[in-house]
Amino acid sequence: MIELRNLTVCYRKHPAIHHISGCFAAGSHTAIVGPNGAGKTTLLKAMVGLLPATGDIEIHGEAGYLPQLTELDRQFPLTVAELALAGNWRTAGNWARIQPQAREQAHEALERVGLEDFATRSLATLSGGQLQRARFARLIVQNAPVVLLDEPFNSVDSRTLDILLAVLDEWHGAGKTLVTVVHDLALARSRFPSALLLAREVIAWGACSEVLCSENLARAQAAIHGHDEDEWCERP
């Protein structure tokens, strides 16, 4: 479903990630993990076209993307219901009238994340966990076969964490291809079948139980600590 071939992102010719090759199989459920500065967010942004990259990226199917919570302007004048409805944008287009079916889908999505009573509230009034649930409601409405999420569990309350993990389980059960940047290794081990361990390049990629072994984690830390910021990427 997602194929990466020799994917490299450089800032002023210094590699942020380099020569990433591999495949997220259709229906897979993968955690991207790695030390701070490993390039996890960079990889996701390159995959959705937000950063210039060399190499090849093929995503077979529409992709839904959830950036980090800190990247959202909470003062943007939207209600919770309007944010959920934004998931229908690709179907409705810029000027099409919102159909009753889309409103019903948005209402059902808000019910699924426990925000049915918050529909008319502005985003600025929400807690961090409530806002993250509203953003998940938008993805539910979008219903893309591929979903890319950047640290969706950071700074959320326990109830929100349970809801978001349940939604991911439902998506996985429905056959969606899920790629999630995860900071918590214990969470990755307990809830994700597959993992990509990154340290600007691929350290290991495969079954989570095999990837997140102590030897691979030590290699990832060593790769980050031994990285020279002035080093140029010269690998062909």
Shared-domain flag, residues 233 and 186: yes
pLDDT tens readout for residues 86-124: 998 766 555 556 677 888 999 999 999 999 999 999 999
Shared-domain flag, residues 29 and 105: no
Structure tokens at 125: 């009034």
pLDDT tens readout for residues 117-174: 999 999 999 999 999 999 999 999 999 999 999 999 998 999 999 999 999 999 999 9
Shared-domain flag, residues 84 and 118: yes
Shared-domain flag, residues 54 and 17: yes
Shared-domain flag, residues 28 and 123: no
Shared-domain flag, residues 133 and 201: no
**Whole-number Cα distances in Å, 102 to 52, 78, 84, 145, 171:** 34, 17, 10, 18, 19
Q: How many CB atoms lie within 10 A of CB 123?
A: 21
Q: Does a structural domain hold residue 186?
A: yes
Residue 204 pLDDT: 98
Q: Does a structural domain hold residue 83?
A: yes
Shared-domain flag, residues 127 and 155: no
pLDDT surpasses 60 at 232: no
Q: Does a structural domain hold residue 2?
A: yes
Total number of domains in the chain? 2
Which uninterrupted H or E stretch holds 141? helix 128-142
Q: Could you list the residue range(s) of the whole structural domain that residue 21 is in?
A: 1-61+146-159+176-236
Residue 233 pLDDT: 54
pLDDT surpasses 80 at 74: no
Q: Does a structural domain hold residue 166?
A: no
Shared-domain flag, residues 53 and 16: yes
Shared-domain flag, residues 113 and 230: no
Shared-domain flag, residues 207 and 150: yes
Residue 65's closest CA among 49, 54, 82? 49
Residue 77 pLDDT: 84
Q: Does a structural domain hold residue 203?
A: yes
Shared-domain flag, residues 181 and 120: no
SS3 state of residue 175: coil
pLDDT surpasses 60 at 228: no
Q: Does a structural domain hold residue 171?
A: no
Percentage helix, strand, coil for the chain under 3-state DSSP, each rounded to 5: 40, 25, 35
Average pLDDT estimate for 52-79: 90
pLDDT tens readout for residues 27-59: 999 999 999 999 999 999 999 999 999 999 999
Residue 231 pLDDT: 54
SS3 state of residue 220: helix
Residue 89 pLDDT: 76
Q: Does a structural domain hold residue 170?
A: no
Shared-domain flag, residues 230 and 132: no
Residue 194's closest CA among 174, 161, 172? 172
Q: Does a structural domain hold residue 66?
A: no
pLDDT surpasses 80 at 230: no
